[in-house]
Amino acid sequence: MVTFGAWNQGSSKMNLTNFVSRKSAFLKFVGVILLIAYLLTTPFTFDIIWLMMGLLVSFSAFLFYILTVVTFNNFNGVEGYNEQQQFVKSKRTWDARLAGAEDGVFLLPLLFIGIDPLSVGIASILFWVYNYPKFSKLYCTVKTIAFFIVGLWILPYGIWPVVLSHIIVDTLVTYNLSSWLELEDETAKDV
């Protein structure tokens, strides 16, 4: 029988969670390094209009997600509640501050290879795959659509408005979602 390192220790769910969190930390580290290298090697450009457009797209996608979850909750309380709980448990405050690092991994290379529907579509699908273990399929799909729109229409005007809008949206969502949905993180009750 062939085993691979941590995969043979304990339960598979626990090891899959460790693998996903390590993959996420590694990719965010790479993203930060890529963004720093880009900042040091290219002129800094930032336009507030494109930041606002990024925020508009991201908040619109998030509002669509919330309305979808509320609709699930009204028609089938169990799935809606499970979707909400999965989202709340998946968000960590430190994770929101590093959200821009994801753009360094998935969007920054597009500035060098070219921005077209195919390349942005591939980057969006990779973004979906990266996020799927942490979030539900519904939330990943909504994030992917927003990611595609931002990558295709906002990224050509610079990476920095995209990064900042991603950090702002994820931070606001992290800090406000659970109270807005009137949910509690069940792990917080154990303290």
Q: What is the mean pLDDT of the chain?
A: 76
Look at residue 91 in the predicted model and tell me its pLDDT: 54
% of the chain surpassing 90 pLDDT? 40
pLDDT digits (tens, 9 = 90+) for 40-97: 999 999 999 999 999 999 888 888 887 777 666 655 554 545 555 555 555 555 566 7
- Count structural domains, the chain: 1
3 within some domain: no
Residue 40 falls inside a structural domain = no
Residue 39 lies in a domain: no
CA separation (Å) from 39 to 43, 52, 68, 113?
A: 7, 21, 38, 18
Q: State the residue range of the domain holding 86.
A: 50-182
Structural domain includes residue 165: yes
Choose between 57 and 172: higher pLDDT: 57
Instruction: Indicate whether 78 belongs to any domain.
Output: yes
15 within some domain? no
Question: Is the pLDDT confidence value at 170 over 90?
Answer: no
Average pLDDT over residues 119-135: 89
pLDDT digits (tens, 9 = 90+) for 75-91: 555 454 555 555 555 55
CA 62 vs. chain centroid, Å, equals: 11
Q: Is 91 part of any domain? A: yes
Regarding pTM above 0.85, the answer is no
Residue 55 is assigned to a structural domain of this protein: yes
Q: pLDDT confidence of 189, banded at 50, 70, 90?
A: very low
